[in-house]
Every structure is written in structure tokens, then in C-alpha cells.
Amino acid sequence: MTSHLFSTSTNGETHPLTYRLREDRGYVDLAEFQQKDGYEALRTTLRDLSPDDLIENMKTANLRGRGGGGFSAGTKWSLTARGEDHPRGYIVCNADEMEPGTFKDRMLMEEIPHLLIEGMILAGYANNARMGYIFLRGEYVLAAERIERALAEAREAGILGPKVCDSDFDFDIFLHTGAGRYICGEETALINSLEGRRANPRSKPPFPGQSGAWGKPTVVNNVETLCNVPAIALHGGEWYQNLSGGRSEDGGTKIFGVSGRVKRPGLVELPMGVSGAELLDMAGGMRDGLELKTWLPGGGSTGFLLPEHLELPLEFDAIGKAGSRLGTGLMTVVAHNQSVVSLTRNLEEFFARESCGWCTPCRDGLPWSVKLLRAIERGEGEEGDIDMLVALAHDIGPGKTFCAHAPGAAMPLETAIEHFRHEFEAGIRHAQHKAHAEPIPVGSV
């Protein structure tokens, strides 16, 4: 089963991530990948570019982290401890795709893992790393098979191992599969997990670029971020930045997607800055008889937006100004007859369950929010519960906790109350509008 693609192109200069995908959507093996210029970027870079040149290209490209954080990948690379005074470290690919509503990295890894491998080797070259790990969630069984196959092909062909492509650079990659827990996607928790520990986040500083896995400089990048590197190395940072020409300052294209109550959920590669309305159109619009009530622009840890926000460009700054985050860029669409209270309860239950338990606001605050939301959902909320939820969201927000998990939970909670306060009020006991006290079950159409 492969994800539906809204549109395809075989043009590498407009669709650097997807142009090599097969029509039958099967595995692109090494021979086919190389036939379509695969590993060309690696060969030219090893021959013609210094690590500093590649990092400069990455900075010019303004490729912002595709795992949801949106931090400039070039800037991250420029902060890695490199040079003779530092040991060679690691490139860790964050393939722990678990953000609710996100299914893009799965496609890249199942269909074209050689693109990820090429990106990781280039990242290794730029950051003076000696080895790469792909931290893949355990449930992605097919992706694991395909990645292992691609790694074996690359080793056999001399693309991985000593003297990569007959250069002086040596680099190898291992696949590390996880055993569950969303928190592993937090980069320092991921490093702890890679080291065989509980996935509690680490204190920063030091940042992983200074001291990460086993105390060595470590760069953690998302799958899609790394898959963008070969095209940037081959065509240059300026070309990549211009891909989004005029629509956004953020560089390049992105795998966007739509799920929820639309006619045809799926994925598409489009320039940064495309609008939510365009995406929704590509997904065939809402299912018959349904209207759009609200949407999450990029996963469960992003804020709710309204239909009027559909015209905004999907880019980090514009979505941020609207009170949400671009996140992973995959829209979750909610229909007019679905309860925002129920959906918020579902999201907070997710975050409560997935809290690693390390710090108090997150470990205790999230289950408390679930308790309040459940009461409101049943129409048994008490006076003051909504204010308590708002206060809770504030107290688990940015700067109050060890990592971004609880702030990620706070954003949908805060924005749900901000935009749909009347739905919450209807769930308060003795509310004036008692007639609306029964929330509509979310699954009913």
C-alpha cells in the first residue's frame, strides 16, 4: 500500500524529492537510482566541494528542518564541532515518524531509500562524521526492509564503507530500529535511546553538535531534510532557495499532505509557500455533505487554524504569525460535525501517554488536562474548568519544561479554546446553553 500522490513530475529541477519515484510506486533500486543521476551529487561534491562549501550551500538554500522544528539545517551544520581538535562524530537520521497526522517520511524510505543514504553521506562529509545511524521507528517494517536492501547495495558498490566512491572519505550507515514512544523523536531523547537508555531528553547545552551520541559531535536531521541535501549539493543553494520563488523566504520544495475527512487523502511535493486551499483542492475537498470546521497545519503539536487561514502560504513564518506552527506540513482536516472538545481530548491523551515522565509540568499537567477535557466532553465540566485548562496550557508551555513535548501539547489546547470556546462552555454543568451539552461523537458523520 503506497500513499496517493496528488501529482507527479519527472523533472529533477522542480521536484527534487519525488522525480525519481517509479510509476508503479515500487522500490527504486541502486541501478535505477543511478540511471536517474543518483549519487551524482555525492561524486561531484567529493571531487569539487569542500565541507565548508557544502555548508555554505546549505545555508544559502535556507532549508528549514522538515521534522517540524523548522531550524535552518545549514545553520545547525555550521555549529557542529569539527576540525583536528574534535573527534569525528555521527549523523543521526531521525526516522521516528510518529507525529499524529504525518506520513511523509514513510513514503521516502519505502520507495527511495538511496536518496536518504546519499543525503546522509553528504551530511557526514560536511560535518566530519565517521558514521551514520538511521533511527527508524519499529513499526515501519517495510521501510526497514528497503533501507537494509539499499544499504547492502550501496556497500557492495563502494558507495558506503572505506573510500566512499573512491575518495579519501570513509563513512558507513547502520539501521537502528526503535521500540515505540513518540518522545524518541526529540533529538536528545533520540540520542539517549540510540545509546540504549530510556528516552528522556537531555539538558541543553551542550547541544548535540558539540556533544551528542557517546559524547561525540552529533547531527540529528529528519529524513526529508536529509533527502533534500543531494539536490542542494548538485544544483547549489541559490537554486534551491529559488524553488519557492516569490511564495516564501523558506527554500525549496516540501512533501505536503492531507488527511482527515477529505475525499482523497494523500501527499504531494510542492514549493514552500503553497496555500492550504490549494492542498485541500488537490485532496478533492471535503467529503460530500461535509464542511470544513478547522484544521491542523502540520501534526498534533500544531495549533488549530480556521477556514479563513486556508489562504495563508504554508511556510514557517506565516503559519507562526497566525498562532500555529507549520510543523511537518501535513494538514489534518476536521469536519463541521466533529467535536473540537473530543479531538482536543484525543490529542491531550496522546501527549499524556507519551510523556517520558521526566519533569513535573508535563508528567502531571497533561493527565490533569485530560481529566478536565473528559469531564467537559461528558457535559460534566465545572465552573472554572476552562480557565484551569488555559492556565495549565500556559504552565506547560515554552520555557516551563525540559523539552518541547509539553509545549507541543499546549498549542492545540490553547488554540482550541481560543477559537472554539463556545464548544467548551457547552460542556460545563449548569451552562446556560444546556441544550448543547451533549458533544457530538467525533466519529459520526
Partner 1 sequence: MTMDTPATGNTRVSKASQGNLIASAGHVNDFELTDEERHEIEHEMGHYENPRAASIGALKIVQKQRGWVSDGAVIAISDVLGIPSSDVEGVATFYSLIFRQPVGRHVILVCDSSSCFLTGHDELRDALSNELGIGLGQTTGDDRFTMLPVCCLGACDRGPALMINEDLHGPVDPGDVSALLERYT
- Strand ranges across the sheet with 218-222: 172-177, 129-136, 89-95, 218-222
Please tell me whether residue 31 binds partner 1 under the rule CB under 8 A.
Answer: no
Rounded-to-integer distance, Cα 38 and Cα 12, Å: 11
Residues in region 336-365 near partner 1 by CB under 8 A? 338, 342-343, 346-347, 349-350, 353-354, 356
399: contact with partner 1 by CB under 8 A: no
CB 328 within 8 A of CB 300: no
Report yes or no: 331 and 296 within 8 Å, Cβ to Cβ: yes
Alpha-carbon distance of 383 to 385, in angstroms, equals 6
Tell me how many degrees the CA angle 104-420-281 measures, rounded to the nearest 5.
Answer: 40
Q: Which CB sits closer to partner 1, 61 or 107? A: 107
Of the two residues 188 and 338, which places its CB atom closer to partner 1 in the complex?
338
Judged by CB, which is closer to partner 1: 230, or 265?
265
The Cα–Cα gap between 92 and 188 comes to 11
Contact residue for partner 1 among 181, 235, 254, 309 (CB under 8 A): 181
Indicate which single residue of 53, 139, 148, 281 sits in contact with partner 1 (rule: CB under 8 A): 139
Q: Does 26 bind partner 1 (CB under 8 A)?
A: no
Q: Which amino acid is at 36?
A: K
Strand partners, 255: 269
- Cell readout for 112 is 527511495
Is residue 202 a contact point for partner 1 (CB under 8 A)? no
List CB contacts of 435: < 8 A, sequence separation 6 or more. Answer: none
Q: From the list 140, 240, 316, 424, which residue makes contact with partner 1 (rule: CB under 8 A)?
A: 140
String marking each residue 97-136 x if it binds partner 1 according to CB under 8 A: xxxxxxx-xx------------------------------
Scanning 93-101, 227-235, 313-321, 414-422 for contacts with partner 1 by CB under 8 A, the matching segment is 93-101
Cα Rg, the chain, nearest whole Å: 22
Among 62, 94, 193, 248, binds partner 1 (CB under 8 A): 193
Q: How far apart are CA 250 and CA 273, in angstroms?
A: 8
CA angle (390, 393, 395) in 5-degree steps:
110
Sole window of 22-30, 180-188, 248-256, 427-435 interacting with partner 1 (rule: CB under 8 A): 180-188
Which stretch, 50-58, 224-232, 258-266, 402-410, contacts partner 1 (CB under 8 A)? 258-266
Q: Which of 141, 263, 387, 395 binds partner 1 (CB under 8 A)?
A: 141
Integer angstrom CA distances of residue 43 from 12, 118, 125, 404: 17, 10, 12, 38
- What does the binding site for partner 1 look like in residue numbers (CB under 8 A)? 1, 3-4, 97-103, 105-106, 137-142, 174, 176-182, 193-199, 213-214, 257, 259-261, 265-267, 296, 300, 330, 332-335, 338, 342-343, 346-347, 349-350, 353-354, 356, 441-443
